[in-house]
């Protein structure tokens, strides 16, 4: 009976995500998410420009760079390196809603935005996405000076930002990037983890309370980790559960200030609160923006919530670190 239930849950999870597992272990992904091309020349006054740049040819990874309109050459702007959500298995930096979100960041913060198209699981299981994140951070540190679009970028004010699984990437990339900083020229000034995606074998209260959540029901959560984690791992692997420490867990206390957001109707909210307590216990300065109202990824469904998130990010970036 348990095996039958598990098979039904897995089938429902695949159907919910609109994916098909192929015999070779790869996925056939839905074609329901429209893509947006870059906008390398102004389509209208005040429009955000964007262009694609190859990151690692061997891995077929790339970045999309966003330049705010009419940057003032006498005023430097921060750089946001952005990692999208998608459960490690879906979407692209070119996905329309991701593209639009990066345009909004570039325009309203304002900032230069580097959106990373990292490799997807299960074809490329973790830590592939973390490795691609490090490639992007190195590109900003070492190569952006050669790009005329970055003429007024302040590389000493770089921020890593991610939503859901992208927030997970922010955390693990930041731990690995401790040795990559070269102040005062290049510095990761803060981390922005919007509804970060973490897991664990033992169910939390919010996971049980929201087991049939319309966005992230438990079978979907379990399937995402099953497809993303290294073969044979469970949800208490260090890539999923930050409470277990792991190979770079001793670097947590060296992380810069963090903005962590979450919503009370997100099954992941208890893990996000636990994550914040862990960071604060290691001496990391954390700004929390937890709202009891709202579901996972609500900023994509609710324009007001999306604008609220932008204001949180703008305030965090403009604040002086303590």
Q: Which residues are catalytic?
A: 164, 266, 296
189 burial type by CB count under 10 A (0-12 exposed, 13-18 middle, 19+ buried): buried
Cα–Cα distance measured from residue 311 to residue 322, given in angstroms and rounded to the nearest whole number: 20
Query: Beta-strand (E) ranges in the chain?
Result: 20-21, 27-28, 49-56, 61-67, 77-83, 112-117, 153-163, 188-194, 258-263, 286-291
Quickly count helices (H) and strands (E) in the chain: 8, 10
Cα–Cα distance measured from residue 44 to residue 183, given in angstroms and rounded to the nearest whole number: 37
Cα-Cα-Cα-Cα dihedral of 308, 312, 313, 314, to 10°?
A: 90
Joined together, the tokens standing for residue 67 give 């330049």
The distance between the two most distant Cα atoms of the chain, rounded to a whole number of Å, is: 68
């Amino acid at each position: 009976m348990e095996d039958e239930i598990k098979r039904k849950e897995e089938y429902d999870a695949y159907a919910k995500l609109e994916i098909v597992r192929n015999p070779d272990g790869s996925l056939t992904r839905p074609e329901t998410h429209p893509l947006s091309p870059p906008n390398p020349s102004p389509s209208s006054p005040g429009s955000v420009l964007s262009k694609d740049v190859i990151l690692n040819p061997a891995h077929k990874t790339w970045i999309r760079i966003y330049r705010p309109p009419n940057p003032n050459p006498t005023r430097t702007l921060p750089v946001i390196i952005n990692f999208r959500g998608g459960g490690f298995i879906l979407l692209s930096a070119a996905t329309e809603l991701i593209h639009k979100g990066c345009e909004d960041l570039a325009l309203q913060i304002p900032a230069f935005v580097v959106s990373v198209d990292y490799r997807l699981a299960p074809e490329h299981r973790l830590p592939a996405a973390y490795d691609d994140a490090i490639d992007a951070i190195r590109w900003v540190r070492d190569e952006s000076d050669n790009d005329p679009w970055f003429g007024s970028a302040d590389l000493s004010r770089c921020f890593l930002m991610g939503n859901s699984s992208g927030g997970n990437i922010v955390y693990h990339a930041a731990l690995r990037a401790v040795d990559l900083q070269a102040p005062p020229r290049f510095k990761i000034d803060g981390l922005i983890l919007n509804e970060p995606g973490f897991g664990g074998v033992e169910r939390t209260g919010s996971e049980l309370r929201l087991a049939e959540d319309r966005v992230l029901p438990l079978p979907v959560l379990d399937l995402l980790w099953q497809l993303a984690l290294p073969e044979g791992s469970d949800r208490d692997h260090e890539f999923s559960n930050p409470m277990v420490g792991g190979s770079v867990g001793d670097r947590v206390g060296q992380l810069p200030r963090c903005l962590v957001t979450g919503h009370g109707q997100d099954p992941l909210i208890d893990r996000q609160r636990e994550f914040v307590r862990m960071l604060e216990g290691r001496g990391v300065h954390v700004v929390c923006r937890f709202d009891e109202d709202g579901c996972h990824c609500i900023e994509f469904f609710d324009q007001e919530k999306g604008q609220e998130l932008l204001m949180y990010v703008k305030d965090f970036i403009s604040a002086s670190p303590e």
